[in-house]
Amino acid sequence: MIKHPDTSYIDLLDIEVKEKSVLCSHVEAEPDDLPWYFDIKRYLETETYPENATFNQKKSICRMALNFFASGEIL
């Protein structure tokens, strides 16, 4: 605590309670029925990108692949 020169001055603190969690994830089914990590796994195994990937998508796949490594038998 700190002393304030004017002892009658107090800042009010407003606290709101939300009905739902602020952090929510909405997951949809993949349109091609492949798991979300498919492109990352393929990049780790063969260092190839999806056929129609844009520059930004390639960059994202490469960046995400830095957090993973292929272990075990590659099928």
pLDDT digits (tens, 9 = 90+) for 10-45: 677 788 777 776 666 666 666 778 888 899 999 998
Task: Give the separation between CA 35 and CA 61, rounded to whole angstroms.
Answer: 14
Question: Per mean pLDDT, which range of 2-6, 43-47, 55-59, 64-68 is the poorest?
Answer: 2-6
Q: Which of 69, 40, 66 is nearest to 53 (CA)?
A: 40
Sequence spans of domains, the chain: 28-75
Single out the residue of 28, 27, 48 nearest to residue 38, CA to CA.
Answer: 48
| Contact criterion met (CB below 8 Å) for 36 and 29 | no
pTM above 0.85, yes or no: no
pLDDT digits 0-9 by tens, 49-65:
999 999 999 999 999 99
Where do the DSSP E strands lie in 1-75?
none
Between residues 28 and 46, the one the model is more confident about: 46
